[in-house]
Structures are given as C-alpha cells and as structure tokens.
Amino acid sequence: MTTIQEKPVATQNTAYAYLVGRIRMLERGVLNGRILESALKVEDVEQVVRIISELPYLSEALQNIPKAPAPLDDALMSHFWETLKEVGRQKLGKNLSLFFQYSFDFNDIKLIIKRHLAKKASGREYPGTFDWKKVSHFVSGETGEHLSDVYRRAIEETLAVYESTHHVQIVELVLDRVYLQEVMNMAEISESPVIKNWLIAFFMFTFFRSAFRAKYQESKFELYRTIYFKNPYLSLEDLSDIITGPDEKIGEVLVHSGMKNILLGEGEYRNDPYYLAEIEKNMDNYLMRFIRPYRTLTFGPEPVFGFLYAKSIDIKNLRILLHGKYFGIGENELRNKLRECYYE
Amino acid sequence: MIIDGLTIAYLGSALAIGLAGIGSAIGVGIAGEAGAGVLTEDPGKFGTVLILQALPGTQGIYGLLSGFYVMIKLGLLGGSPVTVSVLQGVQILFACLPVAIVCWFSAIAQGKTAAASIGMIARRPEETGKAIILPAMVETYAILSLLATILLLNTIKLG
C-alpha cells in the first residue's frame, strides 16, 4: 500500500487553464471555517441561511426557498448538480465531474430498482444524467431502451443476483460493487497521480465503511461479500477480518492497509454507531487533507477535482447544520459532526 | 551552397523575432485561457484580466525591436544592404540569441504567472496591484536580454 501514502506530484497541465480560472471564481462560493463557525452560533435555520447567503453562488441557489431542511436540501443538491453539469460540459472537465455524477446516478438506480421491487408507482425524480423513465422501463424488462453500458450492466447484475437471493440489501451491495469498479477504472486511467491516489483512498474507505456497518448490523459475511471484487488494494480476507474478527483485529487491518490515521484516540476500534460516525468523518477529512494542498495550483486537473469535492463536503456540512438547527441540536454536538472545509 | 554573412545575420534577426513571438503567443494564450474562465463567471473583470493577459506579449515586441534593429544595421530598410563578412554575420547571430532565447522562455513563464495572478484576482479582487506585480517581475529578465542584445549589436561595426 505504498501508492497512496506517497505525496504524488501534480500534473501542471496548462490545458486546464480555462477550467481552473473558472474554478477560482466559483471557489468564492465554497464554505470556510469562519462562515461555518458563525452559522453554528445562531439559533435557527433562517439565520443559518442568512449567514451562508453571504457567499456568492450559494446565495443565488437559496433565493426564495422555504426555510425548512427538506426544500433547502433539494436546493443545495440541485445547485451542486448544476455545478457538476457546468464543469462536465467542458471537454477536460467531463471525466472529473463523472466521479461525482456517478454517485447521483447510482443512488437514482438504487431507488428505481427498489421502487420496482416494491411494485410502487414511479415517484419523485432526483438529479441524474439519464432519463428516469427510460431506466424505469429498462428495469421493468424493456431492455430495448438505450442505456449506457455501465448502467445496463449494473441493473442486469443487480436484478440477476436479486432473483437468486430475494434479499433487498443485495440491491445496494451489487450496485455499490459496480460503482466501485467504475471508481477503480477511473483511478487507473487518471492522468493525475494525485487524483488516482485520492480515488484509491476513496475506494478503500467505501469498502471499510460498508464493512464497519456490516459488522455493526451483524450482517452475514456471505451477503456482504457481494460488494467485493478482486483488487490490488484490499483482500477479501482483510474485510472478513473486520466483519467476523474481534475488534482488536480492525486496527491491525487498518495499519496494514496504511489507513491507521482514520482510527480515533489510541487507535482502538469500538463497535458503536457514534464511533462509526466519527470514523466516517475522519475518512472525509482524510480525503479533504489529501486534495487540499493542491488547491493553490494554477494548472492541472487537481484544483478542479478538489473544488468539486469541496462542494460535495459543503453540501454534507450544510445538511448537518440545517437539520441540526431545525431539530435543536447543540452547538458543540454539531461542531463535532462537521467536516473540515476546503478553505479554513 | 555558400552561406554569406548577410544570410547569417538574417538568421539572427529571424530568430529574435520568431522565438520571442512564439513565446509570447504561448504565454498570452495560457493567460487568455485562464482569463476566459474568470470572465465566464464575471465579465466585469475584463479590464484587469486584459492587462494581465497582455503582459507576456511584450517579449514578442522586444524580439521584433531587436530584429528591426538588425535590419536597420544591415541597411535593409533603406534598400541598400551593407557588406557583411561571415564573421560579422555570426557576431550578429550571436548578439540576437539573448533576446531570442530569454524572451521565448520568459514569455511562457510570464504567461503561467499571469494565469496564476488571474486566479488570484478572481478570488481576491482587492489584491489586483499585487497580482500585476508578480508577473511583471518576470519581465525584468526579458528587458535585460533586450539590453544585452542591443549592447552586443552596438559593438559590431559594419562597413
């Protein structure tokens, strides 16, 4: 596991000058520590919105939106989606935004398949790169519908595995596997060693996260292994050790895989939901610290990718803040849940 | 084919104009791309972006100036070229190299610095002054190379 521990050299490709110039403007709309701290101190959702509206772009996205978590959540999500589309419209930005677009698309497919399995009429649609009706038709068996190979494969594999197991959780696991295979492919073809290593770290964290959850939920390992596919970074035995082994074994696996620093305190694992939430926060912070030093570059894909990740973390932080304030969660408790910002 | 002094001197002039021009074109292009990105989001920054984009263009002017100086020295613009020995031709060629090479590289470097400065004014419009000074520092070396070329050309006595 030496690849992601080294500090990779950025590409400095001047072909990204346009995109980076544009990102420099858009970065003015990224949250920073000062804004978050001010937002933590206020009493209610309306005041939080007033504070974050100081930031350009975000203020436009939140204009005339009812001051309640659900509509604000939708507005933030579509704001992020529009940013992704805008970056993806540029030839060089297409592959960079694809990673983030995939997370939308795969979540959409999960929902479509679950609705299909529950025999529910089509409900609300969420942002995605495809036509929801086409995917719904495809899931219902109209395989003549045109779909990209990735989604076609994802749906076919999921439905086939479901047919043999009739376990709803399998839908999530198989789709996560196809998603992670795509992340792996993206890492392999990435022109930037920084983004490549970042994607590998993300890939490993997703495996760890799902293994920790499986351990907590006491899922059967046979079910969990559906998410796994052979890769050079994590073996099935490592994940098996996490799920079925004693708690002390987890620290060993993380040390062995080079990810010791996501553990808290003395490095001892505790199988409780608060600890899991903390570890997930550490994973997000690790990824942020990984990409943050490259934000000052003038050329290359790294600042663009870093900005997109920063936006995704902003959405996560704002959700925590807005929901927290709405339900009256205390300032300190909320502060502990917040992720590190791109700009401190 | 016999290469005479005049042909070698032409080569010096051509290199000064050509290499410095290529450098400037690349530099202005890089800064322009970054500028276009910023202007897509905020067209109001056109004035500052234009100044920063134009900075790497000066090297092309220095190259042209040196090239013209060689042409004047050779009497080409007056229509009556002077006689130039092979040695004098080589001297003119070498005298042109500082401006040709330094301007070529410095224009690209300045274009990159200007692009970084354009990014700086995008995030911090209040720092426009500092943003202009940084790429202007690169200009120093282009000016020094122009000075060296002119001084070297002045030492060459043609008949």
pLDDT at B63: 98
Q: Is the pLDDT at A170 greater than 70, yes or no?
A: yes
Superfamily covering domain A27-92+309-344: ATP synthase (C/AC39) subunit, domain 3 (1.10.132.50)
User: What total number of domains does chain B contain?
Assistant: 1
What residue in A sits closest to B35 (Cα-Cα)?
A: A21
Q: Which domain holds residue B17?
A: 5-154
Q: What is the pLDDT of residues A78-110, one digit of tens each?
A: 999 999 999 999 999 999 999 999 999 999 999
CA distance B111 to B139: 11
pLDDT at B98: 98
pLDDT at A266: 67
pLDDT band at A6 (very low <50, low <70, confident <90, very high): low
Interchain proximity A21–B119, CB inside 8 Å: yes
pLDDT at A185: 94
pLDDT band at A4 (very low <50, low <70, confident <90, very high): low
Q: Are B141 and A43 in contact (CB under 8 A)?
A: no
Q: Are A308 and A83 in contact (CB under 8 A)?
A: yes
Q: Which distant-in-sequence residues (6+ apart) come within 8 Å of B4 by Cβ?
A: B84, B86, B89
Q: Is the pLDDT at A125 greater than 80, yes or no?
A: yes
Question: How many Cβ atoms sit within 10 Å of the Cβ of residue A175?
Answer: 22
Structure tokens at B150: 């002119």
Q: Is A228 helix (H, G, I), strand (E, B) or coil?
A: coil
Structure tokens at B22: 């290529």
CATH number at residue B30: 1.20.120.610
A18 CB neighbours in chain B (<8 A) are 33-34, 36-37
pLDDT at A275: 84
Mean pLDDT of chain A: 89
Q: Is A235 helix (H, G, I), strand (E, B) or coil?
A: coil
Q: What is the pLDDT of residues B31-40, one digit of tens each?
A: 999 999 999 9
pLDDT at B57: 97
B126 contacts chain A (CB < 8 A): no
Q: A159 - beta bridge partners?
A: none
Output the CA–CA distances (angstroms, integers) from residue A112 to A137, A167, A247, in the order listed.
10, 16, 36
In this structure, is residue B159 part of a structural domain?
A: no
Exposure of B85 by Cβ count < 10 A (0-12 exposed, 13-18 middle, 19+ buried)? Answer: middle
Among left, alpha and beta (phi > 0; psi -120 to 50; other), residue B77 is alpha
pLDDT band at A274 (very low <50, low <70, confident <90, very high): confident
Interchain proximity B34–A25, CB inside 8 Å: no
Highest mean pLDDT among A133-137, A212-216, B25-29, B76-80: B25-29
Q: Is the pLDDT at A267 greater than 80, yes or no?
A: no
What residue in B sits closest to A17 (Cα-Cα)?
A: B34
What secondary structure, in 3-state letters, does chain B show? CCCCHHHHHHHHHHHHHHHHHHHHHHHHHHHHHHHHHHHHHCHHHHHHHHHHHHHHHHHHHHHHHHHHHHHHHCCCCCCCCCCCCHHHHHHHHHHHHHHHHHHHHHHHHHHHHHHHHHHHHHHCHHHHHHHHHHHHHHHHHHHHHHHHHHHHHHHCCCC
A52 contacts chain B (CB < 8 A): no
Q: Are A185 and A149 in contact (CB under 8 A)?
A: no
Q: Higher pLDDT residue, A254 or A206?
A: A206
Query: How far off is chain B from A239, nearest CA to CA, in Å?
Result: 44
Is the predicted ipTM greater than 0.90, yes or no?
no
pLDDT band at A68 (very low <50, low <70, confident <90, very high): confident
Q: Are B102 and B18 in contact (CB under 8 A)?
A: no
A25 contacts chain B (CB < 8 A): yes
In this structure, is residue B108 part of a structural domain?
A: yes
Tens-digit pLDDT string for chain B (159 aa): 578 999 999 999 999 999 999 999 999 999 999 999 999 999 999 999 999 999 999 999 999 999 999 999 999 988 888 999 999 999 999 999 999 999 999 999 999 999 999 999 998 999 999 999 999 999 999 999 999 999 999 999 987
Interchain proximity B41–A25, CB inside 8 Å: yes
